Structure formats: structure tokens, C-alpha cells
């Protein structure tokens, strides 16, 4: 219906896949499968090439909030009338937590204020240089404005994510995390509208329990963030290197994974970050390694990667390649100890071999832990303790065609949960944590996997600030009391 109001009366292919365009539409998501009502009776779908369009899981009503009072009015209205309430900043959520059927949505895209200070104060203490941003500010905008002010923040690679939303609440990994800590570690203060409709200042002094929860305790469970203040750091030179290697067989790809694991600590001297993706679009696998190192020259960056490159190119059936793909899905945090073990790299190779032989299409690696992430183990935050001992975060991903039926989709989900994740846990361990922003919405042990030993404390905080469960999301704190969409108690 929204596209029908555009000039020409339709969305273009470019708009259909544009994150910025989708961010601007209250009910649109970046992961379009969560817009579809596959499990409704009858199914309510709105597919790209369909001539019909159902409401699906898109909320019936939305509030285009422009002021804090707008947010307070929406929250109070939903609480008064017992409405399902959802919050959307960018809608970039891989778990579909920015939508729900027959719900009222609060759209925060218009909260785009950005304010810098060299001396942010909390309880009379100078916390140093910081920037305060609204939940409608995209990463790219933050990066551009911080650069203009000679600053940098800890953020992700997806430029269309809104930083002051689920990204921070879920921990917020970054290629700069080994250097500065997770994004959540660097939050100094939130302004939050809670379930009572009250606007709270939340920091280490004021409402410290809620501050604990908002820093890593999961997206969408605590209130509506209307502003977040995060640390800034002086700018510095960064070297980014991109290597793409092809593997003709699964055995060669697994050997490449072993070599990469053998060199996983090579970046530690400069606390570098890295994203490495092993993708199998056909018979050939492709490993893309994107490395980000701070305060290094191009030659220094090359020198750090040369040992890996020499060993990688010595693997039989390996060649340079230049194709790229992107997906997301199920995930686990991999402890540093898994790589440090004498048989660690061999175990990595075994896991990759089994995943690929089992049909895995993509294995996404994120070297975004260790360093300052580990050194921040004792700060007050709800970040899963597994982050503090992790070295990498691995994601398994797949997809399905628009024409796939619900039974076909559920078969794929079950295969991941029972087969692929079990293989991945040979590395992570059976009770490993996961990054709750890039994971399985149907994680069967979400309390352990997403929150670990923090869950009971988070449940108590939830009861204090949201006793009626107004803010409920799938696999969020308190969601065990509700059905999949948070509409009915169970």
C-alpha cells in the first residue's frame, strides 16, 4: 500500500532491497521474511512478485514519533488498552523483533539529533568525550559527524543500522571491539521511556539496575530509548585489507579454515578486528577475509597478514577469487581456549568440513572479541560472560525462496537447530553463548544462550520496570511467559 502512494505507483527493485528506504517505512523490515504471516490461517503473505498482498505480521497501527511526549503517549495508550507494543528504529533486526501482528508500532526514525561534548558528566564525574544520538541516527551518519569532529565511536559495519536501538542493547560487536570494547561497554547514559510512561535518565548512578540491563540484556525488552550517549575516541589511521580465496573442494575449504585458525592470534599485537566469510554458492567455496587494524600503515597491515597468506596459498586446490555474498542466521561465540588448545585448529577444520558436507551455504566469522572485550569482564553490564572469554563469533546462514511453504521453512530451521548447531558446538561447547542480535529467534535454550547467568537478575529488573510485560520480544527476557508473537500468555 505504501508503494502505491509513490510516483509511478510501485516500488522499484532498488527500493525493495534498500535498507534506507525500508527504514523510512514504519512497517517495513530489512529481513522481509518476518513481514510474512507464514503461520497464520490462512497464510497472509506479501511477496516481491505477487499480485496480492496481505497484512502478514506487519503491525496494524504505527506512531511516527517526533517527540518524547509522542513516545510517552503511545506507551501509555498501549498499556491502558492492553495492546501489543513493538518498537522500530531501523528495522535491521535479524530476529524480527521490530514487528508483530495486530500490534501498535512506535517508529523512532525521526529522532535524529546528534550532540557532542568533551566533558560528559555522570553524577558529578567527568566521563570524557562523548556523543549523544537519537535512535533514528544511522551508523553512517554517526561516522560522518564524528569524523567531522575529529572523533570515532565503536560501531558496526552495516551503515544503515541505528546505533541507539537494539544494537547497543544486544552488546554491539565491532571490528574496533578488541581495541575499545563492545559498543555496550562504551555507553555512558540512556534516556528511556519505560512501561509506566515515565522518562528515565539511566546511567551508573541513576537507575543503575536498568543501566545494567540495557547494556547487553537484549533488544526490545526494557523500554523505548529516545537517546543514548556513548564514548568517543580521537580519530586514527586504519588499514583495511580484503583477501578472497577460492577452494575447489570441501576438504580444501576445511584446510583453509584450519590455517586461518592457526593465525587467529596474529592481530593481537595491534588488537585488530576481522570478518571472515566462507561461502558456498555452488560447488566452489569462497573465503573472504576483511581485516581492520588501527594505527598501522599499509605495509604493517600487509606484514600482519603475510604469514596467513603464505600458509593459505600452500593449501592444495586454493585460488584467488573475487565473488561476494552476504547472509545471516544461527550463531555461537567461540572461546579463545578453543583456538589455543593443541588440537584447536584441527577441530576448526573438522567442524568446517562437517558443516560444508552437511550442506552449509555460508559460515560467517567475526573476530570481534578478545583484547578490551576481555579486559572489561568486571564492568557492570548484562553482556553474556561468554563474550569476555570469546575470540570469535561464528554464524551459520541459509535462505529460502519466496515460494517456500511453512513446512519447508520449518524443516530448514529444524535442520539447523538439531544438526548444524550441534556441529558448531563441537567448537563452542554445549552451553556456549551467542550474540543475541545475530542468532536464531527460536533458540531453544535462549535464557542460557543469550543471557547466561545474568538471566535471573534480568528477570527481576524486568519485573520492576515492566511488571505487565508491555515490552515483549521473541527470546527476550520474560518471553517464556508468552507465545511466539507476544500476543497471548502460555
Peptide bond into 295 cis (omega under 30): no
Strand 238-247 vs strand 285-294: parallel, antiparallel, or unpaired?
antiparallel
The pLDDT-based confidence of 51 (bands split at 50, 70, 90) is confident
Q: Which residue has the cell 518524547?
A: 68
Q: How far apart are CA 286 and CA 324, in angstroms?
A: 8
Architecture (CATH level 2) of domain 114-234: 2-Layer Sandwich (3.30)
The pLDDT tens digits of the residues spanning 360-400 come to: 889 999 999 999 999 999 999 999 999 999 999 999 987 77
Say what the pLDDT of residue 448 is: 96
Lowest mean pLDDT among 33-37, 163-167, 174-178: 33-37
Say what the pLDDT of residue 327 is: 33
Say what the pLDDT of residue 489 is: 95
Q: How far apart are CA 250 and CA 354, in angstroms?
A: 9
The pLDDT tens digits of the residues spanning 426-446 come to: 999 988 899 999 998 889 899
Q: How far apart are CA 42 and CA 372, in angstroms?
A: 50
Query: CB atoms < 10 A from the CB of 430, how many?
Result: 9
Contact 31, 96 (CB under 8 A): yes
Q: How far apart are CA 344 and CA 346, in angstroms?
A: 5
What grid cell was written down for 96? Answer: 524480527
Q: Where in the chain is the domain with CATH 3.30.465.10?
A: 114-234
Contact 224, 106 (CB under 8 A): yes
Say what the pLDDT of residue 118 is: 98
Q: Which residue has the cell 534506507?
A: 20
Contact 321, 245 (CB under 8 A): yes
Q: What are phi and psi of 86, to 5 degrees?
A: -130, 155
CA-nearest of 124, 118, 30, 129 to 328 is: 30
Say what the pLDDT of residue 329 is: 57
Say what the pLDDT of residue 49 is: 72
The pLDDT tens digits of the residues spanning 296-348 come to: 988 999 999 999 999 999 999 888 654 332 333 578 999 999 999 999 999 99
Q: What are phi and psi of 158, to 5 degrees?
A: -80, 110
Q: How far apart are CA 161 and CA 141, in angstroms?
A: 10
Q: How far apart are CA 154 and CA 32, in angstroms?
A: 28
Say what the pLDDT of residue 163 is: 87
| 113-130: burial string, b at 16+ Cβ within 10 Å, e else | ebebeeebebeeeebebb
Q: How far apart are CA 12 and CA 96, in angstroms?
A: 23
Q: How far apart are CA 10 and CA 28, in angstroms?
A: 15
CA-nearest of 446, 454, 435, 449 to 474 is: 446
Measured between its terminal Cα atoms, the distance across the chain in Å is 34
Class of domain 238-440: alpha beta
Q: How far apart are CA 292 and CA 176, in angstroms?
A: 8
The yes-or-no verdict on residue 196 having pLDDT over 80 is: yes
Say what the pLDDT of residue 328 is: 38
Query: CB atoms < 10 A from the CB of 360, how many?
Result: 24
The pLDDT tens digits of the residues spanning 273-289 come to: 999 999 988 888 999 99
Say what the pLDDT of residue 326 is: 31
The pLDDT tens digits of the residues spanning 1-35 come to: 455 555 565 667 777 778 888 888 888 888 888 88
Class of domain 3-107: alpha beta
Q: Where in the chain is the domain with CATH 3.40.462.20?
A: 238-440
What grid cell was written down for 263? Answer: 593465525
Rounded mean pLDDT of 194-207? 99
What grid cell was written down for 468? Answer: 505487565
Q: Where in the chain is the domain with CATH 3.30.43?
A: 3-107
DSSP 261-329: HHTTTTTGGGT-EEEEEEE-SSSSEEEEEEEEEET--HHHHHHHHHHHHHHHHTSTTEEE--------E
Say how many residues make up the chain.
490
Q: How far apart are CA 119 and CA 130, in angstroms?
A: 7
What grid cell was written down for 228? Answer: 543514548
The yes-or-no verdict on residue 138 having pLDDT over 70 is: yes
Say what the pLDDT of residue 406 is: 84
The pLDDT tens digits of the residues spanning 302-313 come to: 999 999 999 999
Say what the pLDDT of residue 404 is: 81
Amino acid at each position: 500500500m505504501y508503494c502505491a502512494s509513490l510516483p509511478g505507483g510501485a516500488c522499484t527493485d532498488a527500493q525493495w532491497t534498500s535498507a534506507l528506504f525500508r527504514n523510512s517505512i514504519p512497517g517495513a523490515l530489512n529481513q522481509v521474511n518476518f513481514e510474512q504471516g507464514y503461520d497464520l490461517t490462512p497464510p497472509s503473505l506479501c511477496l516481491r512478485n505477487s499480485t496480492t498482498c496481505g497484512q502478514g505480521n506487519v503491525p496494524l497501527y504505527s506512531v511516527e514519533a517526533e517527540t518524547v511526549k509522542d513516545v510517552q503517549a503511545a506507551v501509555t495508550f498501549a498499556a491502558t488498552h492492553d495492546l501489543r507494543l513493538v518498537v522500530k528504529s531501523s528495522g535491521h533486526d535479524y530476529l524480527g523483533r521490530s514487528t508483530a501482528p495486530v500490534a501498535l508500532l512506535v517508529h523512532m526514525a525521526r529522532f535524529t539529533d546528534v550532540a557532542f561534548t568533551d566533558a560528559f558528566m555522570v553524577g558529578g564525574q567527568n566521563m570524557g568525550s562523548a556523543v549523544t544520538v537519537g535512535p533514528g541516527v544511522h551508523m553512517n551518519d554517526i561516522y560522518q559527524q564524528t569524523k567531522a569532529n575529529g572523533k570515532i565511536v565503536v560501531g558496526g559495519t552495516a551503515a544503515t543500522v541505528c546505533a541507539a536501538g537494539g544494537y547497543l542493547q544486544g552488546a554491539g560487536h565491532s571490528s574496533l571491539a578488541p581495541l575499545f570494547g563492545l559498543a555496550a561497554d562504551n555507553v555512558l547514559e540512556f534516556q528511556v521511556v519505560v512501561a509506566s510512561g515515565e522518562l528515565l535518565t539511566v546511567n551508573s548512578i541513576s537507575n543503575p539496575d536498568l543501566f545494567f540491563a540495557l547494556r547487553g540484556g537484549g533488544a526490545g525488552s526494557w523500554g523505548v530509548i529516545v537517546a543514548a550517549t556513548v564514548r568517543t575516541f580521537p580519530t586514527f589511521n586504519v588499514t583495511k585489507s580484503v583477501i578472497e580465496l577460492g577452494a575447489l573442494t570441501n576438504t580444501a575449504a576445511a584446510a583453509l579454515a584450519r590455517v586461518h585458525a592457526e593465525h587467529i592470534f596474529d592481530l593481537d599485537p595491534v588488537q585488530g578486528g576481522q570478518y571472515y566469510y566462507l561461502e558456498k554458492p555452488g560447488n566452489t567455496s569462497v573465503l573472504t577475509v576483511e581485516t581492520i587494524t588501527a594505527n598501522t600503515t599499509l605495509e604493517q597491515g600487509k606484514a600482519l597478514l603475510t604469514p596467513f597468506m603464505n600458509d593459505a596459498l600452500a593449501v592444495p586446490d586454493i585460488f584467488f577469487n573475487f565473488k561476494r555474498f552476504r547472509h545471516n542466521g544461527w550463531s555461537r561465540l567461540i572461546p579463545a581456549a578453543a583456538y589455543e588448545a593443541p588440537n584447536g585448529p584441527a577441530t576448526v577444520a573438522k567442524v568446517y568440513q562437517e558443516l560444508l558436507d552437511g550442506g552449509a551455504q555460508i559460515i560467517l566469522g567475526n573476530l570481534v572479541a578478545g583484547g578490551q572485550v576481555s579486559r572489561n569482564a568486571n564492568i557492570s553490564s548484562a553482556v553474556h560472560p561468554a563474550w569476555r572469554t570469546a575470540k570469535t563469533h561464528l554464524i551459520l546462514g541459509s535462505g529460502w525462496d519466496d515460494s517456500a511453504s511453512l513446512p519447508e521453512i520449518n524443516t530448514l530451521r529444524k535442520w539447523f537447530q538439531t544438526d548444524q548447531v550441534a556441529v558448531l558446538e563441537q567448537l563452542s561447547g554445549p552451553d556456549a553463548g551467542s550474540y543475541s542480535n545475530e542468532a536464531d529467534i527460536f533458540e531453544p535454550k535462549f535464557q542460557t544462550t543469550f543471557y547466561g547467568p545474568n538471566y535471573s537478575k534480568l528477570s527481576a529488573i524486568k519485573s520492576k520496570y515492566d511488571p505487565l510485560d508491555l515490552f515483549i520480544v521473541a527470546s527476550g527476557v520474560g518471553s517464556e511467559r508468552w507465545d511466539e508473537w507476544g500476543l497471548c500468555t502460555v
